[in-house]
């Protein structure tokens, strides 16, 4: 996919991976619509891109709502032309375990999955007519493996990977490109808040992430993902450890599940010992 001269929309671009992606696509020559549900954070990202001399426009939007997605696409067309690349990056982490309220499940699935489906449903007819277009799904290693502790996040990210895969299979011969990024631990406010949570289940989930692969910077995720888009590759894995773990899972699924059970138990015991040693409240 040629990025130079393209028009890109990046959701959840107010911080973390989204900000890095917006900056990277702009630096690669795309005109970028920077979007976030927090308009002020989106503005700060856009200001940084502007100061670097790249083309950008900012728009506050809820990436899970059809009218907001349509507004982003209209904004891109009004300022630069038809959207060539849509980066579905906005995401949320749900509360851990099964004891989630229906609203928590709904929000996680709306933002992490249905936002992608709704954007694709709007864009694909136009892309198929043009014979080109690129959908970038920022999923997670949790979508290939799992997420200890966080059922809603694991389920939603599996669904995001599955939808991206379906898009690639269904529309690949019609000129549509799909890239699915599956990072593990990334140095973002989301991961840091989980690591520092007062909830032991949240800290357990964070421990599983940081122990399984190197924690990388958002800029590295963006660099690897933009390169995957250039090369028309489906899977973007910022950490090679994820590929190894995924292969082990596929090679011996029963053993992998049993191993994860044991791993979760060991992590839980270690987390409990740390909490008791520090005098922290164990929940």
Catalytic residue annotation: 153
Contacts of residue 247, Cβ cutoff 8 Å, sequence gap at least 6: none
Lookup: tokens for 158 = 């599996």
Rounded Cα distance between 133 and 177, Å, is 6
Rounded Cα distance between 15 and 44, Å, is 9
Query: Using an 8 Å Cβ cutoff, are 138 and 89 in contact?
Result: yes
Contacts of residue 79, Cβ cutoff 8 Å, sequence gap at least 6: 31, 33, 57
Q: What is the β-pairing status of strands 56-60 and 31-36?
A: parallel
Query: Which of 210, 173, 170, 219 shows the shortest CA–CA distance to 191?
Result: 210
Cα 226 from chain centre:
14
């Amino acid at each position: 996919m040629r990025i130079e001269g393209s028009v890109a929309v990046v959701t959840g671009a107010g911080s973390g991976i989204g900000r890095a992606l917006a900056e990277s696509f702009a630096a690669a020559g795309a005109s970028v619509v920077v979007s976030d549900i927090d308009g002020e954070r989106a503005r700060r990202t856009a200001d940084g891109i502007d100061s670097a001399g790249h083309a950008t426009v900012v728009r506050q939007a809820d990436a899970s709502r059809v009218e907001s997605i349509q507004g982003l696409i209209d904004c891109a067309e009004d300022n630069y032309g038809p959207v060539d690349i849509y980066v579905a990056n906005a995401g949320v982490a749900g509360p851990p375990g099964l004891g989630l309220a229906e609203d928590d499940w709904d929000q996680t699935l709306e933002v992490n999955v249905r936002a992608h489906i709704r954007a694709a449903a709007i864009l694909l007819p136009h892309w198929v007519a043009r014979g080109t277009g690129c959908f970038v799904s920022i999923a997670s290693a949790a979508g290939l493996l799992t997420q200890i502790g966080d059922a809603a996040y694991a389920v939603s990210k599996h669904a995001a990977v599955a939808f991206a895969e379906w898009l690639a299979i269904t529309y690949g011969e019609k000129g549509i490109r799909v890239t699915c990024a599956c990072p593990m631990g990334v140095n973002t406010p989301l991961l840091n808040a989980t690591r520092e949570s007062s909830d032991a289940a949240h800290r357990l989930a964070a421990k599983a992430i940081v122990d399984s692969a190197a924690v990388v910077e958002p800029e590295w995720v963006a660099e690897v993902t933009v390169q995957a888009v250039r090369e028309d590759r489906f899977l973007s894995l910022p950490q090679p450890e994820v590929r190894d773990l995924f292969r082990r899972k596929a090679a011996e699924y029963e053993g992998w599940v049993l191993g994860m059970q044991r791993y979760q138990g060991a992590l839980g015991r270690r987390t409990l010992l740390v909490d008791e040693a520090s005098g922290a409240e164990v929940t």
